[in-house]
């Protein structure tokens, strides 16, 4: 990769210190670039740290799909449902695009691409662990459990069933994971899936990048991108101006506002998610559990179990909804035999960046020579982080990105 300006300014400034920004910094420094990472919060990880931590080709599905539309309409009538929406005029264009992208043919193509990228990224995750990065990577599969025979049978017949998935009756599922409740009717085991500790992943990637000379600046917020003659000339931040040869915008939900300042259409909506973390060794077998009807995931993380889920389109609102938090615990009560005295050690919420077609945005910004966008990964940020890092580094090295991910696709459909 070109060293760019021989001054002290970095070759690349990465805006955002979550999983996507950290993976980009790691791969760029591996290829010899001088990198500075700007993270608006006081510590890296941001929304990434609160995810379920799954690396799961089996569940890599475009958020925009026919089943999501059908389920979403039903969920709107329930206060404690896995999906919520706060109606507002600014959301209508996004919802219209979401509906169009949910048509079966478009949704199937998007899901097929996400599956391919997830499989590549899973191998890269495994490579990171092999190279000694302490990401908490474990490849023990995932288990989808069902509370009703109807949903189990629908999954058995589903066209999106991942290759290698194994159907287990209730007894076999409880033999694999003794903490499962007697009330489950059956399960699907996906042996090729993996998981990691999301916070450890981000720390390991940034740590490796810093060992190669990258600078991490936390508590520094990007206020504005300065653009002139088709290039980003400077970044105005809360710590003063920053110059760079190139810029990677990996700021999650904040990428929309930052891009609009220079005329870019980045149609992201913030989808609020929650997790509740319990102090227990109940999932000592180390296999994450998908509670399919509740849309809740239980991930073992050392001596803790993280219950993660919900998707709430409520804008940039970080208030905690106690009803949705309680719904995570209720789902676990129905599905898992967790200790009644398990101590709650953390309640968390964060904003996931969601595009209307369910695919991330990875590509050069139209009309801006030295700006790359890497955002919109929704619930697949941890899964797709390593492959996105490779794509970002490739773009800055002159390689193309998959055309389905390029930001121009939204301008074409406007």
pLDDT exceeds 80 at position 36: yes
Output the DSSP codes for 233-287. EEEEETTEEE--SEEEE--GGGHHHHHHTTT-----EEEEEEEEEEE--TTTT--
Output the DSSP codes for 43-61. SS-GGGGGS--EE-GGG--
pLDDT band at 43 (very low <50, low <70, confident <90, very high): low
Q: Give the distance from CA 33 to its chain's centroid.
A: 25
Query: Do the domains spanning 1-65+102-136+195-267+355-414 and 142-191+269-354 agree at the CATH topology level?
Result: no
Question: Each residue of 104-148: pLDDT tens digit?
Answer: 999 999 999 999 999 999 999 999 999 999 999 999 999 999 999
pLDDT band at 356 (very low <50, low <70, confident <90, very high): very high
Q: What mean pLDDT comes out for the span 321-347?
A: 92
What pLDDT was estimated at residue 191? 94
pLDDT band at 181 (very low <50, low <70, confident <90, very high): very high
3-class DSSP assignment, residue 405: helix
Q: What mean pLDDT comes out for the span 168-184?
A: 94
pLDDT exceeds 60 at position 45: no
Q: What is the pTM of this model?
A: 0.93
Going by C-beta distance under 8 Å and a sequence separation of 6 or more, which residues neighbour residue 222? Answer: 15, 38, 40, 235, 236, 237, 251, 258
Structure tokens at 335: 């599905």
Spatial distance between the Cα atoms of 388 and 26, rounded to a whole number of angstroms: 11
Q: What mean pLDDT comes out for the span 289-309?
A: 93
What pLDDT was estimated at residue 88? 87
pLDDT exceeds 50 at position 3: no
Structure tokens at 79: 């206060």
Spatial distance between the Cα atoms of 375 and 255, rounded to a whole number of angstroms: 7
Range with the poorest average pLDDT among 2-16, 91-105, 363-377: 2-16
What pLDDT was estimated at residue 155? 81
Going by C-beta distance under 8 Å and a sequence separation of 6 or more, which residues neighbour residue 250? Answer: 14, 15, 16, 18, 20, 21, 24, 374, 375, 392
Cα radius of gyration (the chain):
21
Spatial distance between the Cα atoms of 209 and 211, rounded to a whole number of angstroms: 5
Q: Are 304 and 277 in contact (CB under 8 A)?
A: yes
3-class DSSP assignment, residue 128: helix
In sequence order, the β-bridge partners of residue 298 are 289, 307
- Give the helix/strand (H/E) hosting 161: none
What pLDDT was estimated at residue 79? 75
Instruction: Tell the CATH topology of 142-191+269-354.
Output: D-Amino Acid Oxidase; Chain A, domain 2 (3.30.9)
Spatial distance between the Cα atoms of 35 and 1, rounded to a whole number of angstroms: 12
Question: So where are the chain's domains?
Answer: 1-65+102-136+195-267+355-414, 142-191+269-354
pLDDT exceeds 70 at position 319: yes
Nearest to 72 by CA among 95, 54, 50: 95
- Give the helix/strand (H/E) hosting 291: strand 289-291
The overall longest dimension of the chain from CA atoms, in Å, is 66
Residue given tokens 């209508």 in the structure block: 92
Structure tokens at 410: 């939204």
pLDDT exceeds 70 at position 245: yes
Question: Each residue of 386-401: pLDDT tens digit?
Answer: 999 999 999 999 998 8
pLDDT exceeds 70 at position 159: no
Question: Each residue of 47-96: pLDDT tens digit?
Answer: 788 899 999 999 999 998 888 888 777 777 777 788 888 888 989 999 99
Instruction: Tell the CATH topology of 1-65+102-136+195-267+355-414.
Output: FAD/NAD(P)-binding domain (3.50.50)
């Amino acid at each position: 990769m070109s060293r760019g300006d021989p001054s002290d300014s970095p070759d690349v400034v990465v805006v955002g210190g979550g999983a996507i920004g950290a993976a980009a910094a790691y791969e760029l420094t591996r290829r010899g670039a001088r990198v500075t990472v700007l993270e608006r919060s006081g510590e890296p990880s941001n929304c990434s740290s609160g995810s379920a931590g799954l690396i799961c080709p089996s569940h890599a599905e475009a958020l925009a799909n026919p089943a999501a539309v059908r389920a979403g309409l039903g969920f709107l009538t329930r206060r404690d449902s896995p999906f919520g929406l706060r109606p507002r005029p600014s959301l209508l264009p996004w919802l219209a695009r979401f509906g169009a992208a949910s048509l079966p043919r478009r949704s199937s193509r998007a899901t097929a691409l996400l599956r391919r990228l997830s499989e590549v990224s899973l191998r890269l995750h495994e490579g990171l662990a092999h190279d000694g990065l302490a990401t908490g990577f474990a490849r023990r599969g995932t288990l989808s459990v069902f509370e009703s025979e109807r949903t189990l049978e629908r999954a058995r017949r589903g066209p999106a069933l991942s290759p290698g998935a194994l159907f287990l009756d209730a007894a076999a599922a409880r033999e694999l994971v003794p903490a499962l409740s007697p009330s489950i009717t059956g399960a699907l085991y996906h042996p090729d899936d993996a998981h990691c500790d999301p916070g450890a992943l981000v720390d390991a990637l940034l740590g490796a990048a810093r060992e190669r000379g990258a600078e991490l600046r936390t508590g520094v917020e990007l206020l504005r991108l300065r653009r002139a003659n088709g290039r980003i000339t400077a970044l105005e931040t809360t710590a003063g101006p920053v110059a760079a040869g190139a810029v990677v915008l990996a700021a999650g939900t904040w990428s929309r506002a930052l891009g609009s300042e220079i005329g870019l259409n980045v149609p992201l909506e913030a989808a609020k998610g929650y997790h509740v973390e319990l102090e227990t060794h109940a999932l000592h077998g180390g296999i994450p559990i998908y509670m399919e009807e509740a849309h809740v995931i239980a991930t073992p993380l050392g001596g803790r179990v993280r219950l993660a889920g919900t998707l709430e389109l409520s804008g940039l609102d970080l208030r905690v909804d106690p009803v949705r938090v309680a719904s995570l615990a209720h789902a676990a009560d129905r599905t898992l035999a967790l200790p009644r005295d398990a101590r709650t050690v953390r309640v968390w919420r964060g904003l996931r960046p969601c595009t209307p077609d369910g695919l991330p945005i990875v590509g050069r910004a139209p009309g801006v020579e030295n700006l790359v966008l890497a955002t919109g990964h929704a619930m697949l940020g941890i899964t797709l982080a390593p492959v996105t890092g490779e794509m970002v580094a490739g773009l800055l090295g002159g390689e193309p990105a998959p055309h389905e991910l390029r930001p121009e696709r939204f301008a074409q459909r406007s």
